[in-house]
Amino acid sequence: MEFLSGNFLCETIVPKEELIVSRTDLKGIITYANETFALISGYSIDELVGKPHNIVRHPDMPKSIFKELWKSLETKGSWSGIVKNLRKDEGFYWVYAEISEVIKDGNLVEYKSIRTPISFEDKIKYQLLYDEIKKMNNETTRKVIYT
C-alpha cells in the first residue's frame, strides 16, 4: 500500500467544449501539446514536449491498460478508452482518449491523441473497475487516509 500526499484527491474538470490534443513519436515522447493539454495537466507546453507521455500517468491506472493500448496501436493502428491522468500538482483529471497512427508517405511517423471529458458516472464506474483490475493483478492500490 502507498500513502498519498499532495493533491491526489483534487480533480480538475475537463471543460466540455475543450479538446486535449497531443502527438508523440513512436516511442511515446511528446512532440506536440496544445494549450488545453498544458492547462489541464498543469504543465507548460515546454515542460511537456520532449517528455514521455506517461508523465501524466496516474498511479490508479492499471499497467495492463497501457499494455493493451500499445498492443492495439501495433495491431490495429488505434486505441480508445477511459484514462485517469495525473497533473503536475498531483491532482488528476479523467478523459476519453482516442489514439491513432499518423501516416506520411506510406510510413508510420507518429501517434496523435485527442482527449475529451467523460461523465461523473463513468468516472465512478472506471475508478471501481481499475481498482479491481489492479487488485486482480496484485498491483498497489490506493489507500486514503483521513485525518
Residues 53-110: pLDDT tens digits? Answer: 999 999 999 999 999 999 999 999 999 999 999 999 999 999 999 999 999 999 999 9
What nine digits make up the cell of 96? 476519453
Query: Rounded CA gap, 13 and 95, in Å?
Result: 9
Give, to the nearest 10 degrees, the angle between helix 63-76 and helix 120-136. 100
pTM to 2 decimal places: 0.87
Taking every pair of Cα atoms in the chain, the longest distance, rounded to a whole number of angstroms, is 58
5, pLDDT greater than 90: no
What nine digits make up the cell of 14? 475537463
Task: Please give the distance of CA 121 from its chain centroid, rounded to a whole number.
Answer: 18
